[in-house]
Structure 1
Amino acid sequence: MSQILIVEDEPRIAAFVAKGLRAAGFTTLIEPSGEAALQLAITEPIDLVVLDVGLPDIDGFEVLARLRGQGVTIPVIMLTARSSVADRVAGLQSGADDYVPKPFAFEELLARIQLRLRTDAAGRSSMVLVHGDLSLDLGTRRARVAGRSVDLTAREFTLAEMFMRNPDQVLSREQLLSGAWGYDFDPGSNVVDVYVRYLRRKLGADYFETVRGMGYRLT
């Protein structure tokens, strides 16, 4: 079941869209804040974002640009009253997959969402990374341990993918932070260690070896 993030600060519109999507078989999250929505899209298993432009903190164009800048490729449909050609061009150039102006017919929005999800699924690689009892399906973004499905956040999946693509190799904290977060290494940050602990808890502690003074290795 696909999960849709609705980023909309008008409660009536957000509730209307969410109700219709749930009736169509989707699960939904509603977030009125651009900053909070950005974090949800990065950390939660979101399949598509319906994104308003006019938000109370940062606008939808900024949310979209930052998502794409961090390598998040999930489909984004802009839903906004700002329907000028310049606005549509700005949205598409920022990485939007579609642009639906308000007022809109829900049936059209639903059809566009279904189309984008089908296109996204067809365009993803079906490649599966396997290491021992671990497997990562890069198309469905699903992880499995000994045949058991395990829920990973988007960040956890990206980190696990880095390990799975480099089995038995020591990956430094610098490499992991840069690859999974896009940040330069901060010696005072323990975010890599925290997320490795998450992976150990979810996928199995024996897989992730600490190499003292160097980093971590998938064994």
Structure 2
Amino acid sequence: MERRLCVLLALPPSATSSSLGRGLRRDLGAEGVELVVASDGIELLDVMRAGSANLLVLDMELPGPDPAVLLGAVHAESPPTPVITVVPRERRAGVLGLLRGDRDDFLIRPFAADELAARIRLRLRAAAGLPSPTVLGHGGLAVDVDAGQVFADGRRVSLSPTEYALLLALAERAGQVVTHDELSRRAWSEPVSANLVQVYVSYLRRKIGPERIRTVRGAGYQLDG
């Protein structure tokens, strides 16, 4: 019999008993993913050492031992296990340096259950060497291509078709510069002025956060974390 995938949720008890926990059980449980809960660092280490977890969701404010120390212990004892960390915005910069870019991820609190579920699916598939689903994640931003939905820091964002086309073009090449011409083709299917692109990028910034899209003068725009 095939072993079910297991996700360890190392979250405060209030989170796992809330609508977040119920949403994860509904969405992932229906897909055959088992959810195991650890309410403190000691329980977390016990489950990880038992070798039953395929992925860890770690709240960086979990009660007990320093979560940064716990994260280091997980990396050392179970290198293949991907980790999704949950962080408040003010701690984001400090946590990023602890993550392995090819395996780990993070979410900024607050976030929706379906946003975390999408990240979990993405990391489980990557760890299994399966093709990536059509969810593009970068920092606290996620674009569900199949559903046409966008989440920024767990908050669902409503975009116009033009804004969505621009964001998709940027998300597909996150961290790289996308030229004005390419954005024109993707959003309007024809050349448009750089001023029009700039106007729509400004609309997009208002909705997903101005710090996420960087202007590269004379070249285009880049989606940053």
TM-score (norm 2): 0.49
TM-score (norm 1): 0.50
